[in-house]
Amino acid sequence: MGEVVSRDELIRIRDEARAAGRIVVFTNGCFDIIHRGHTDYLSRAKSLGDILVVGLNTDRSVRALKGETRPIVPEDDRAHVLAALRSVDYVCLFDEDTPQEFIAAIVPDVLVKGAGYSKDNIVGADLVEEHGGRVVALEALEGRSTRSIVDRILGARSGS
C-alpha cells in the first residue's frame, strides 16, 4: 500500500531512490472519481519504473480546472484511495494550477500523461528530458472517463 506524503518527504524519497538506482515515474491529475480507466492507466504507468508517484490536484486546483461543481470527492479521500491502489507508491497533493513546480522539485525519471496530450503540451516534459528522463503518453481505455460517469449519474438523476 502506498503513502500520502508531503513534498519535502517526497524529495527525500526521490533522493534515496536516485542513490539506489531506482526509476521514479511521475504522473498527476485530479482523480476525482476513481474508475477502471484510472486503475489501468496507473498500472501501466507503474510498469515504466520502480516507484510511481502521483501528484494530486488539491480541491482548489480542481475547481480552477474543472469548475465550481468539482471535485466531487474531497482531496483527502482522493489521496487515500489512490494510495490504497497496488500500483501507487506515493501520493502528494499540489495546489498550483500546473504541476511544473512539483516536477521541478522531484525531477522524475519518467513523466507520464494520457495520450490526449502531445509531448509539446505536457507540463514539465522539457525539464524531464533535459535531465535525461523520458516522457510517455499512455492511451486511455475507450469510454472510461470521470466525465462520462458524472454524465450518467446526472442523466439517471434527471430521469433521462
Q: Edge-to-edge strands of the sheet including 110-114?
A: 3-4, 90-94, 51-57, 24-29, 110-114, 134-138
Q: Where are the domains of the chain?
A: 3-158
| 34-92 residue pLDDT tens | 989 899 999 999 999 999 999 999 999 999 998 998 999 999 999 999 999 999 999 99
Exposed/middle/buried for 111, CB within 10 Å: 0-12, 13-18, 19+?
A: buried
Q: Which three cell numbers stand for residue 32?
A: 476525482
CA distances from 115 to 10, 112, 138 (A): 26, 9, 5
Residue whose C-alpha cell is 491529475: 29
| CATH topology classification for 3-158 | Rossmann fold (3.40.50)
pTM listed for this prediction: 0.90
